[in-house]
Amino acid sequence: MVDEYSIYIHIPFCVSKCIYCDFVSSPCNGKIPEKEYAHKLICELECRLEHVNSRRLKSVYIGGGTPSLLQAETIIKILETCKTDKTSDIEVTVEANPKDQSLSWFKELIDGGVNRFSIGIQSMNDTTLKWMGRRHSVKDAISAIESARNAGCKNLSADFIYGIPGQDISVIKSELTSLLQLNPDHLSAYELTVSKETPLYKLKNLKYPANSQLSQMWETVVSTTDTLGYTMYEVSNFAKNKKRSVHNSNYWSGGEYLGIGAGAHGHIKMGNERYRYENTRLIDTYLNTPIDNSKTKNQFLETGIEENIIKISSKEYAQEIVMLGLRTKSGIDLNHLKDILTKDEYTSYFRIFLSLAKNGLITIENNYAKPSQKAIIIADELALKFF
């Protein structure tokens, strides 16, 4: 079987930073070093692709930041380096902010090989959008979806955030219904998280929903999406007409991927060893550090722009697969675990799975351990049993 991998490309620029965002991104005040950054991305891509040329590319995802600040021709040039084209069956996704695109931008990208867009709608309430620091309005969100569809997009994903201070079940149901009536093919619904690195963390006297309320909110998201024809396949992701994200599914199954760009993360197997790496988060450092294709460390390619390189043991990799798999409807491939672990380690894992099955938290069928909906909610807690 041919090994497969994905490519994630990070665009770290935005016009303004949302109060909840802890991704690597930098407000640009309208000035983006677009050509310089694209050139560096291509140099890094060419370098890393040399080491995976015997594997099959299954998806490309351009995220950020705000990739939609880039011109379509710049994105297409980057994709050409990934060796994608319009006739390819590779899933190619570009994230977009609702206020940035035009019909022609979408059309040019579709003609250039992009076959999926992820639009950051987040809320269907203008007051909430303003509080979040989003630049767009509900009207902009509707217009962006219409433009993408009119351009010929047949695979469209929308983002939605719940758990906002002051929000209740009825508001979530109403907003989500309004969003899904726009007929996206896919929905990513995330609970608001408060990271120490964000402006949101510094805001005081905010009353966040209690854990019990958050569980009810998640159940409301699940029931509302189900009623409107969307199937949950991961704790935060829902698809219509089986249009699941190929790229994110690769992450959740422990698949390999190249991370390209400032702050990007990658996971790759070189020889018999697995590695995770993180590129420098500093945009200037990323732009000004020459790519070196000559260095190697334990078979892993060092280009000079990495901030961290970590070798992953087989047991650590197995733990990651379990932790991620418990969040998905498809579950955990037990044959995959058997290939990774020693006989004794696998026996220990299987006993835990049997115990979970006895308690009704998972089912074991066709060599997959599939979590129940209750187990998906407490996936992180269950994963600790394997550590």
pLDDT number for residue 29: 67
pLDDT number for residue 19: 66
Alpha-helical regions (H) of the chain: 34-49, 72-81, 103-111, 126-132, 138-151, 169-180, 199-202, 211-227, 246-252, 283-288, 314-325, 334-340, 343-358, 373-377, 379-383
pLDDT number for residue 30: 62
60 CB-contact burial (10 Å; exposed 0-12 / middle 13-18 / buried 19+): buried
Contact status, residue 179 vs residue 157, Cβ threshold 8 Å:
no
DSSP 4-43: EEEEEEEE-EESS--TT--SS-EE-TT---HHHHHHHHHH
pLDDT number for residue 166: 84
Contact status, residue 317 vs residue 291, Cβ threshold 8 Å:
no
Q: Spell out the domains of the chain, with CATH numbers in brackets.
A: 4-250 (3.20.20.70), 318-386 (1.10.10)
Show the tokens assigned to 270: 């070189």
The residues, ordered by sequence, that sit 6+ positions from 303 with a Cβ below 8 Å of its Cβ are 44, 47, 48, 291, 292, 293, 295
pLDDT number for residue 194: 74
pTM: 0.94
DSSP 232-282: EEETTEEESTT---HHHHHHHTT-EEEEESTT-EEEEEETTEEEEEEE-S-
Residues of the chain with pLDDT under 70: 1-2, 17-19, 21-26, 29-30, 84-87, 199-200, 295-299
Contact status, residue 289 vs residue 304, Cβ threshold 8 Å:
yes
pLDDT number for residue 338: 95
Cis previous bond, 63, omega within 30: no
Closest by Cα among 115, 2, 95, 96 to 52:
2
Beta-strand relationship, 265-270 and 368-371: unpaired
